[in-house]
């Protein structure tokens, strides 16, 4: 059971928009920045969003992040087949004094 809760899967057609939610608590998302990671099967995770809504250089603006209270959301617009991957939210839990991840969401582009 992960500390952060994500839907197991989402799907949408190419060109459409999808959102992935991440729910936590006051000890993690409620007081710390959230980051999002993309993991294509067989490869290492890659950061997509950091500090709730910032994109590293090289990440297209089709990817966006937001946070409100103890929840965060990743948005992806203009879906492409290459976006099919597992997506994880992550942050720090100040009560556990440890990093935490969501359980991951598998994105299928139909």
d(CA 32, CA 40) in angstroms, rounded, equals: 26
- Rounded to a whole number of angstroms, the minimum distance from the CB of residue 41 to other proteins is 10
In 10 A of CB 25, how many CB atoms?
Answer: 17
- Could you give the string, one character per residue 12-41, with x where binding to other proteins holds by CB under 8 A and - elsewhere? --------------------xxxx-x-x--
- Residue from 53, 77, 103, 108 touching other proteins (CB under 8 A): that is 103
Residue 63 makes contact with other proteins by CB under 8 A: no
Q: Are 11 and 108 in contact (CB under 8 A)?
A: yes
Residue 7 makes contact with other proteins by CB under 8 A: no
DSSP label of 4? B
Q: Are 19 and 64 in contact (CB under 8 A)?
A: no
- Rounded to a whole number of angstroms, the minimum distance from the CB of residue 16 to other proteins is 25
């Amino acid at each position: 059971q992960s500390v952060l809760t994500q839907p197991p899967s989402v799907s949408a057609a190419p060109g459409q928009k999808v959102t992935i939610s991440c729910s936590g608590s006051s000890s993690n998302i409620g007081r710390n920045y959230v980051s999002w990671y993309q993991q294509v099967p067989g490869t290492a995770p890659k950061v997509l969003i950091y500090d709730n809504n910032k994109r590293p250089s090289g990440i297209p603006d089709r990817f966006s992040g937001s946070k409100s209270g103890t929840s965060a959301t990743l948005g992806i617009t203009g879906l492409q087949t290459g976006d099919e991957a597992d997506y994880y939210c992550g942050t720090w839990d100040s009560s556990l004094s440890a990093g935490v991840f969501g359980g991951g969401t598998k994105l299928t582009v139909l």
